[in-house]
Amino acid sequence: MFKKTLLPSGLRVMTAPMQGTNTVTTLVIVGTGSDYETREDNGISHFLEHMFFKGTKKRPRAMTIKNELDSIGGVSNAFTTHEFTGYWIKAGKTFLDLSLDLLSDIYRNSLLKQEEIDREKQVVMEEMHQYNDTPTRSIWDLWEEVLWGDQPAGWKILGREDVLRKLKRDDFVNYFYNQYSAQNTIVVVAGNFDEGATVEKIKHYFAGVRDAAPIRQKPAVHFDQKQPVARVHYKKTDQTHISLGFRAYEAGHPDRYVIDVLATLLGGNWSSRMWDVVRDKLGLAYTVWTNSDADSNRGTFTTYAGVDHKNATKAIGAMMREYKRIAEKPVSAKELKLAVDSIKGKTLIGLEASDAVADFVGIEEIITGSPLTVDEVFRNIEKVTPADVSRVARKLFVPSALNLAVVGPYKDAKPFEGLLKL
């Protein structure tokens, strides 16, 4: 259970008290990310995330911030996506005040010094290089580029090196002013804490945050695709990395939970069809899974596998057959129940931790504005029928939404294009 409190400034406070834990997680989440960037500042959302930990008026040195976090044994990090940016601290329940003080300080008072920006540029570049050197990460950049093309939805969240090297302090100050406002910010607290007292503390710590609406530009995502598309990225690797799937529904779509069940049926657990066929029966992959992902204005449905180069076409063919089979023949009530119960069980296990609860509440609020309780989510999942699964599979699994991204020692996508037949 959680409670949403709207402050006069427009700042949203989400509180989720938990029993049986000695920790508390504080998450500050802002409704901006790479979707709100331009060609001239692509990557600034993520770069700004780094700069928040480089010094404030109260804590002018990065070491001061690090020492405070280490002194409480806390776990802290930040993340940037296409649609939102988050900063969080998970600590013992006795350190909530320090967590709120520190997070509000970096939000409100980061110095953004030019010398720190210049120093951090190489750090960000090395993060980009690490992603590029890791096929299980870089394939998702390629996947989004295939799906959404040359627009923010298809750009890398980390940005481009040539753009980042040119960024100056004024760019960060302007971006922060335009996007970081009370109306665009949520403070989430989950774990062991006093709910009433904590809301009052948040009012104090986050007083003075700019209360104007953010200045936002988010282009509509539309892609006119008429036939399947395959794209390869050449890289000398030990495996061929495959992402095969479809454009899907946004987070607010009424069939969102049907898609979640469909993804579980195909590749969400050991009993799933992709696992059973690609791994167990054909012995082609160690890792294979299917996932659905929903943003506020778009969604994806993807199966990933890493296979030996000689087995790449065989694995893609097997995946295609499973997509076609589940669209043509309804699943049994028994198989459906197994998938539904699997989702429920994994959700409950995941939500034992305060940081997972903070994400569960905060991310859904920032994307939809209407987060559901766990019981409400489960009721939606339990309503899904075999007919729903077939209906959504037939609607999603069509040639005009089918895409393939491949990372491996290939320079030509043509050998893969012939496999993309439904």
Domain ranges of the chain: 3-205, 229-417
CA–CA dist 364, 370 (Å, integer): 7
The three-state secondary structure class of 253 is coil
Is the predicted pLDDT of residue 220 greater than 80, yes or no? no
Among 269, 268, 288, residue whose Cα is nearest residue 278: 288
CATH topology classification for 229-417: Cytochrome Bc1 Complex; Chain A, domain 1 (3.30.830)
Model confidence pLDDT, tens digit, residues 23-74: 999 999 999 999 999 999 999 999 999 999 999 999 999 999 999 999 999 9
DSSP state of 160: -
Pick the CATH number of 3-205 from 3.30.420.40, 3.40.50.2300, 3.30.830.10, 3.30.70.60: 3.30.830.10
CA–CA dist 320, 327 (Å, integer): 11
**Number of Cβ within a 10 Å radius of residue 3:** 12
Q: Residue 392: CB partners within 8 Å, gap ≥ 6?
A: 255, 258, 259, 262
| Cα–Cα separations (whole angstroms), residue 169 to 126, 154, 214, 323 | 21, 26, 20, 49
Asked whether this chain's domains 3-205 and 229-417 adopt the same fold, the reply is yes
* pTM recorded for the entire structure: 0.95
Is the predicted pLDDT of residue 75 greater than 80, yes or no? yes
| Cα–Cα separations (whole angstroms), residue 388 to 182, 270, 328 | 40, 23, 12
CA–CA dist 376, 391 (Å, integer): 23
To which residue do tokens 């794209």 refer? Answer: 231
Is the predicted pLDDT of residue 217 greater than 80, yes or no? no
Is the predicted pLDDT of residue 290 greater than 70, yes or no? yes
